[in-house]
A and B are shown apart, each in its own frame.
Chain A
Amino acid sequence: MVSGDVVTDSMDRSSRLRRHITIDADLAQLADIRAAVREVASTCEAPADCVSDLVQAVDEAATNIIRYGYRGEPGSIDMTAELVGDDIVITLSDEAPTFDPTAAEPPDLSIAPQHRRPGGMGIHLMRLSTDSMEHRVRPGGGNILTLTRSRVRRPKEG
């Protein structure tokens, strides 16, 4: 099941725009959450590279929540996307066991691949496609992950 709503307030000159969607913790619903991100980023007049970065980051985050958070158990993911100044701020909220992707070790691309720490390719992509990632434990259980990406400049590589 997918549910959502769009609230736009054209009267507010600080350009607040907000989109909310809830998806089941099911890999088959990743396409719906990506479509919602695309829609909101386009409404924010974000350039193509910003839209695809946000789609990437949210897809990788939601995939991790479904696979390694809920692990096949039923659950849901709430996504809120909001334009704050020139930042698009996306919050993913779940009720899965605590997992902090921001604490995962980044792969060191300067060393030979066979000596790198395994895992974390999706998290690596999340880092490169956002300006910041912040994790909080959700009161009552679960996780709140906030991804921020400027719509006017690309995040630093590396």
Chain B
Amino acid sequence: MEQIIKVRFSANGQHPELDLDPRTTLLDALREHLRLTGVKKGCDHGQCGACTVLVNGQRINSCLSLAVMHEGDDIATIETEDSAIIAALQDAFIEHDGFQCGYCTPGQICSAAGMLDEIRRGVPSHVTKLLGEETIQITDAEVRERMSGNICRCAAYPNIVRAIMQAAGAVP
């Protein structure tokens, strides 16, 4: 028996209403139903980070979430036009050559946007020395640890870190 579920969420400011097989992942809903093909399918198992999007401002792997679980949510992908930090990260990735093939880049940039917000909100990481302190310094080590959920097969990591550090400084 095939079930079809009506789901409505916001995606980059659009408000589509979709009739979906509940098996549809958020990733497939964005790419195949809304044609937001900026978000990429890499491993489809949450290991590579290419599918990273922002849901209500938080980064998640869109491949490991069902679209029907996102009723009413606010979703931003690399195509969003109303995020100053995503725009700044795009410029910085170009300036610092933060990619070769570019397939992981949309996920890297959405992940970096979520990551910088996490630092602003005082979310600690594995490399944060003192957990009791609410203010976290943005360092190379923090960026590397916090971006470990995004794999770059071309190994552009040094330039990705530089691009993120520049964008972090450019947007308050």
Q: Do A and B bind each other?
A: no
B interface with A by C-beta (< 8 Å): none
A interface with B by C-beta (< 8 Å): none
